[in-house]
Chains A and B, each alone.
Chain A
Amino acid sequence: MHSLITEGDAMTAGAASGMASLAWLLVALPLLGAAVLLLGGRRTDKVGPALATGLSWASFGVGVLVIVQLLGQDAAQRAHHLTLWNWVPAGSFQLDLGMLVDPLSVAFVMLITFVGSLIHVYSLGYMEHDPDKRRFFAYLNLFVAAMLLLVLADSYLLLFVGWEGVGLASYLLIGFWNHNPAYATAANKAFFVNRVGDLGLSIAIMTMFVTFGGVDYATVNEGVGGANQATLTAIGLLLLVGACGKSAQFPLQSWLGDAMAGPTPVSALIHAATMVTAGVYLVVRSHVIFDAAPDAALAVAIVGAITLLFGAVVGCAKDDIKKALAASTMSQIGYMMLAAGLGPVGYAFAIFHLLTHGFFKAGMFLGAGSVMHGMNDQVNMRRFGSLSGAMKVTWATFGLGWLAILGVPPFSGFWSKDKIIEAAFVGEGWKPWVLGGAALVGAGVTAFYMSRLFFMTFHGEKRWTDDVHPHESPKIMTVPMMVLAGGSAFLGLLLAWPFAETAPIVSWLSPVVGEHGEEHPVLAVPVLMTLTLVFVAVGIFLAWRRYWSEEVPEVAPRGSVLTRAARVDLYQDAVNEGLFMRPGVHLTRSLVFADAKGIDGAAGGLAALVGGLSSRLRRLQTGYARSYALTMLTGVVAVLGALWVIQ
C-alpha cells in the first residue's frame, strides 16, 4: 500500500461500512428538501425555509459522523466505495452508480454542508421579506444536493450529473429575481459560457470512455499507465476547459462578475465557497491523469497564474463591492489552480487554500450582504465609508476575513497562501521564477485591492447618499458571519498546525493525492515569507494612503489606461465579441446573404455559425412537394452512384 501512495496513485477503495455506507443520505436529505418545497407548492410556504435549513444541517450531521469514522481508521483504509445501483448494463459496457467516500470528498462534504447550512441560516434573515422565499430555499437545497453529488461521485459521469445540477441550480438562483431583465441576461451569460466548459468536460469523458473503456475513477486511474501521452494530454486539457468554465478561469471567466446579480447569499455559497471551486476539485481528483501528462499540468498552472493576476488587476478598479469580491474570488481560485497544476507538491495546498478561502470569502460576501442590507441594497463603495461605527459586528467579521485573505499571520490565509507561493517557487528553469513571481506579485496586489475595498467601505469619510440609515443586521444574519469569521481566523492554524511533524491537512489528503518528497524552493523559505509580507505591507500602505487618509471621490475619476481597462474586465467582453462573435456573425452574414433577421447575438459566434448554416439549409425546405421529390431522387442517384463508383 505504501509504495502505491508514494507513486501518487489513488488508494484502492474498500466496500463501504459503518457510517460511510449511509453516505447517500448526504445527498438524499437536501434533495428531499428541494422536492418537498417545489412539489408541495404554497402549502409549504410557512415551514419550507426552516425545513430546508434543518435538512441541510442534518446532512452536515451525517458528514460529521462519516468523518469521525474515517478519523478512527488507518490512513490507508479511509476510502470507502459505495455502489448504489447497476445503472446501464449494455453489453460489454457497464455503468454503475456509486459514491466514493475518501478524505478528499469528505473534506469537501464538510465545507459544503457546514458553510451551506450557515448560509441557509443567514438567508432566513436576508430573504425574510421576499414573497417567493420558499422557491429560493428549494433551489438552495437543490444546489447543496447537486454539489454533494459532484464531490461524492465515483465516476466522471456521475460527477457530470452533479456538475450540470449545480449549474442548473446556479442559473435558477442567479436569475431568481428574474423580474429584472438584466439579471435574467446575467443568468443567460453564465449559461452560455458554461456550455463551453461543459462541452470540454463531456468530450473529455467520452475520450476517457474510448481510451480506458470506463469512466469511473478506479478504471481510469488504472488505465492511465497504459495510455499514450498525447491522449492523456488531450484529456487533461479538455478537463481543464471544463474546470475553466465552472471555476471562472481565464479565458472563460467573464460570467462570474455578472453572476453577482443573484441574491448575496447565493454569491457567498455558489460563487465563493463551493461551486466555483469545482474546477479545482476536478483537477485534483484527476491528479493521476495530470501526473502522467506534465504538459497539461503546466497548462493548468499557467491558466491559474494568469487568472490570479487578471482577477487581482480587475479587483483594483471595481467600485461595486460584490464585483470586487467576485474578481477576488477569481484571483484566489487562480491560486488554487496554480497549486493544482504544480503536481503532488501542490495538490494538498490547493485544497487547503480552497477550504480556508471557502470560509473567509463566504464570510466577506455575507458581510457585503449585511452592508447592503443596511444601505438600501446599494453596492457602490464610493457611497459607503466609515461604516465601522454603525455596523460593528459586520466590520469585525469582515475585518477578520480581510486579514485572512491578505495572508497576515496567524490568520487562515497566511497558512494556505504562503504554502502555495512556496510551492510555486519549487522547480527548475524558468517555471519557478515566472509562476512563483506571479504568485508573489499577486499577493501584493491582493493586499492592495482588498484593503481598498475594506477601507472604502468601513473607514474614511462618510460618503452616504441622503436616504440611508446604516444599521447592524439582525442576529440571524450576524451569527453565521461570526462563525465564518472564527473559521477565517483559526481554520488555517488548525489545519496547518505548525507544531506537528506534517500538517494535518497534508497527512489527511496524502493517501488520495500522493505524498511528495522533500523539495526546496529556489529561494529560501524565510526569504520568501519575508518577501511576501513586504509585498502585502506595501499593498496595504498604498491602499491606506489613497482610500483612507485621502478623500475618496464620490464619482469615479477617469483613471489611468489600466484602471479603465480593469473596470471593463480588461476588455474581456470586447475580446470575446471581437474574437468569437463578430467573425461568426460576419461569416454567417456572408453565408446567409443579407439575412435581415440577424442572429441571436448573445448566442456567440459558434452558435451564430450553426444558426447561419441552419438558415441557409432551411432554404432547401421550400414547401413544394416537387422539390422535395427532386431532393429524394438526387439523394438516391448520389448514393447509388457513389456506391457504384466505390465498388
Chain B
Amino acid sequence: MPAAMPAAFQAVTIDYLAVLPMFVVVGGALVGVLVEAFAPRERRHAVQVWLTCGTLLAALVVLAVWSRDHQSVTLGGSVAIDGVALFLQGTLLLLAVIGVLVMAERFGGVGSDAFTPMGASTPGSSQEDAATRAGYATSEVFPLTLFAVFGMLIFVSANDLITLFVGLEVLSLPLYVMTGLARRRRLLSQEAALKYFLLGAFSSAFFLFGAALLFGYAGSSDLAQISQAISTGAGDLDGLLLPGVVLTLVGLLFKVGAVPFHQWTPDAYQGAPTPVTGFMAACTKLAAFGAILRLTYVGVGANRWDWQLGVAVIAILTMVVGAVLSVTQTDVKRLLAYSSVAHAGFILVGVLAFSQAAIGGVMFYLLAYGATTIAAFAIVAMVRQDGSEASHLSQWAGLGRRHPVVAGVFAFLLLAFAGIPLTSGFTAKFAAFAPAVESGTTGVVMVVVGVLASAVTAFVYVKLIVLMYFTDPVEGVVALQPSVPSTIAISLGVIITVVAGVAPATILQLAGNASQFLL
C-alpha cells in the first residue's frame, strides 16, 4: 500500500536526547576543522588528539546516560534508537577511541607517524620534500575520523533506505581520503584509495538501484513499511522485490568485504596507513553489519526464504576464500585483510540464523573482533625496518627473540583470531555459531564450513607464531617503543580480548539484553 504523500510539509518531531551522541560527534568534527584552520601548527596534533578523544568519550557518556532511556524511532521515522543501535553505537564509539589513540602514535618524532606530511602533494615531488622538511603532519585525519564515525552512527541506526544511503556516503568519503594518506609507499596508498573509491562508488550504485526498486515495490523507503508491504503482499510489482533486496544487500556486503565483493579489501588494507586500516577493519565492519542486521531483520526479513540461500552461499564463499587466500599471503597487512574477509563470513553465519540470540551473538562478535583487530594493526605499525613498516612476513622472522613482549602480545591476538578457547575469538565464534546450529540445516552446513575454515586460518596464524619464535631474527628489524596513547590502545584491545574470552558473561548479557529492534 503506497503511503499517501503528505498534503503539506509537517515538521517532524525529534527526540534530541536520543540522537545527541551523533550531534556531539559531528559538532566535534566541525570544531576540528576550525582547529585545522586556526591552531598553530606545532600544537595542532596534540589539540586534535585531545579534541577527538574528548568528543568520542563525551558522545559515549551522553549515550550511556541519556540516550539509553530515550529509545525511540525519531526524526520522522528515519532513525531508530533502539537496543541494537545503542549497543552498536556505544561499541563504535569505544572502538573509535582506541583507533584514534593508535592514530595519534608518532614514536617520539614527527617523521615516524603514519600519515603523509601533505596529502595533496605528488609523491616524490619537491613539494613533498619541502613539506617533510618543514615537519608538517596531517592532523586533518582526526576530524575526518570523526566525520566517518558520524556516518557510522547514522548507518547503524538508519531506519529507512535514504538515511541508510546518506550514512553510507558520510562514512565512506572520509575513509577514501584517509586511505590515501600513508606517509610511506605513497603511490601504493593513493592507488588503494582510488580503487576503494571507484569500487565503493560502484557498490553505492548497486545499493541505490536496489533502494529504488524496493521503493517501487513498497511505495516507501521506510524499512517498517517495506516489511509490512511484503507480509501483506500488497505490492503490485512483485518482480521488483527480489532484485531490490539483493542489490541493496550487495551495497552493504561490499562494505563488510564479503566474497565476491571483497577484492578491494586487501589492496585498501595494505595501502592505507596502518592505524587507519585497524580503524576501518573494526569500525566499518561493525557499522556495515549493523546496517545489514537492521535491513534484514526489520526490513526484508519477511521474504527471507527467497534470498537467504543466496546470502548463505556468499557467506560460505567468504569464509572459504578468506581462509584459503590467507595461506599464501606474504604481507602481514594483506594476511590480516584476508583474515578479516574470513571473519566477515563467520559473522554472516550468525546473521543468517534470524533469531534474537543471533543478534546478541553478532554484536558480541563485532565488539570482540574490533578490539582485537585494532590492537593487532597497532602492533603492525610498531615493527619497523629502516624507519618504514616491516610488513613483509620474512621481516617478522625471529621477532619473538628480539622483542618477546611485542611478539607475545601479537601471538595472543593471533590466537584470538584463530578462536582458541579462553580468548574472545572463541567466545565470539561460539556466540555466533550456536544460534546458527539451532536455525536448521543450512545453518549447520555453514557452521561446519566455518569450523573448517577457522582450522585453515588457525594454521596460518600459528605458522606466523612459529615464524616469530622458531626462526632466526632478521637484521635491522625492530619494534619501536610505543608512546602512552597507543600503549593504552593496545592494552585496551588486549584486555577486551582477555575479558571477552575468560569472563564474557557480562558483555554477552549486555548484548543479549540489547538485541531488540524497535519497529
Contact = CB atoms under 8 A, between A and B. Distances in A.
A91 interface: yes
B471 A184 contact: yes
Contacts of A607: 327, 459
Given A88-B508, A631-B263, A617 B324 contact: yes
Interface string B499-510: 000111100110
Contacts of A210: 437, 444
A371 B451 CA distance: 47
Interface string A602-630: 01000100110111011011010100110
A175 B263 contact: no
A561 interface: no
Interface string A157-183: 110110010000000100100100000
A610 B324 contact: yes
Choose among A87, A644, A647 the residue with the greatest number of B CB atoms under 10 Å from its CB.
Answer: A87
A95 interface: yes
A611 B325 CA distance: 8
B261 A635 contact: yes
B267 A623 contact: yes
Interface stretch (A8-16, A187-195, A415-423): A187-195
Contacts of A530: none
Contact of A157 (B250, B421, B459): B421
Contacts of B361: 90-91
B328 A614 contact: yes
Interface string B220-262: 0000000000000000000000110011001000100001110
B129 interface: no
A90 B451 contact: no
A634 interface: yes
A531 interface: no
Given A90-B361, A184-B470, A644-B242, A614 B455 contact: no
A618 B267 CA distance: 13
Given A90-B357, A184-B470, A639-B310, A625 B325 contact: no
B328 A643 contact: no
Contacts of A92: 357, 438
B462 to A, nearest CB: 8
Contacts of A640: 242-243, 246-247, 310
Given A164-B420, A195-B459, A610-B456, A91 B435 contact: yes
Choose among B430, B470, B512 the residue with the greatest number of A CB atoms under 10 Å from its CB.
Answer: B470
Interface in A287-319: none
Given A91-B434, A617-B321, A635 B260 contact: yes
A636 B420 contact: no
Nearest to B317: A635
A86 interface: yes
A614 B326 CA distance: 8
B466 interface: yes
Given A161-B421, A175-B470, A643-B242, A629 B430 contact: no
A184 B400 CA distance: 14
A625 B194 CA distance: 9
B386 to A, nearest CB: 25
B261 A632 contact: yes
Interface residues of B, number: 64
Contacts of B242: 640, 643-644, 647
A88 B471 contact: no
Contacts of A632: 199, 202-203, 206, 250, 254, 260-261, 263
A188 B462 CA distance: 11
A206 interface: yes
Contacts of A634: 260
A206 B449 CA distance: 12
Interface string B468-508: 01110000000000000000000000000000001111001
A636 B466 contact: no
Would you call the interface of chain B mostly helix, strand, loop, or mixed?
Answer: helix
Choose among A93, A199, A209, A625 the residue with the greatest number of B CB atoms under 10 Å from its CB.
Answer: A625
A596 interface: no
B237 to A, nearest CB: 15
B309 interface: yes
A611 B505 contact: no
Would you call the interface of chain A mostly helix, strand, loop, or mixed?
Answer: helix
Nearest to A611: B327
B32 to A, nearest CB: 31
Contact of A636 (B247, B357, B435): B247
Contact of A191 (B310, B328, B355, B466): B466
A127 to B, nearest CB: 19
B307 interface: yes
B206 to A, nearest CB: 7
Contacts of B263: 620-621, 628, 631-632
Contacts of B504: 87-88
Contact of B470 (A158, A178, A623, A631): A178
B294 to A, nearest CB: 20
B470 A188 contact: yes
Contacts of B463: 603
A646 interface: yes
A95 B435 CA distance: 14
B427 interface: yes
Nearest to A595: B328
B195 interface: yes
Contacts of B503: 85, 87
A158 B422 CA distance: 9
A642 interface: yes
A89 interface: yes
A611 B194 CA distance: 30
A158 B421 CA distance: 8
A614 B503 CA distance: 36
B438 A631 contact: no
A90 B466 CA distance: 33
A615 B199 contact: no
A617 B262 CA distance: 13
B195 A628 contact: yes
Nearest to B355: A91
B505 A86 contact: yes
Nearest to B206: A636
A195 B462 CA distance: 10
B269 interface: no
A603 B328 CA distance: 12
A634 B314 CA distance: 13
A88 B470 contact: no
Interface in B327-370: 327-328, 355, 357, 360-361
Contact of B430 (A88, A188, A199, A620): A88
A91 B199 contact: no
A90 B430 contact: yes
B199 A610 contact: no
Closest 5 CB pairs of A and B: A91-B357, A635-B260, A628-B263, A614-B328, A614-B327
Given A89-B508, A647-B242, 13 more contacts: A88-B430, A90-B435, A91-B512, A161-B422, A175-B469, A184-B470, A607-B327, A621-B325, A625-B199, A631-B260, A632-B199, A639-B313, A647-B306
29 contacts: A88-B505, A90-B430, A90-B512, A91-B357, A91-B438, A172-B469, A178-B469, A184-B470, A184-B471, A202-B455, A209-B437, A210-B437, A607-B327, A611-B328, A613-B324, A614-B325, A614-B326, A617-B325, A621-B325, A625-B194, A625-B198, A625-B199, A628-B263, A635-B250, A635-B261, A639-B313, A640-B246, A643-B242, A643-B246
Interface of A: 85-93, 95, 157-158, 160-161, 164, 172, 175, 178, 184, 187-188, 191, 195, 199, 202-203, 206, 209-210, 603, 607, 610-611, 613-615, 617-618, 620-621, 623, 625, 628-629, 631-632, 634-636, 639-640, 642-644, 646-647
Interface of B: 194-195, 198-199, 202-203, 206, 242-243, 246-247, 250, 254, 259-261, 263-264, 266-267, 306-307, 309-310, 313-314, 321, 324-328, 355, 357, 360-361, 420-422, 427, 430-431, 434-435, 437-438, 444, 451, 455-456, 459, 462-463, 466, 469-471, 502-505, 508-509, 512
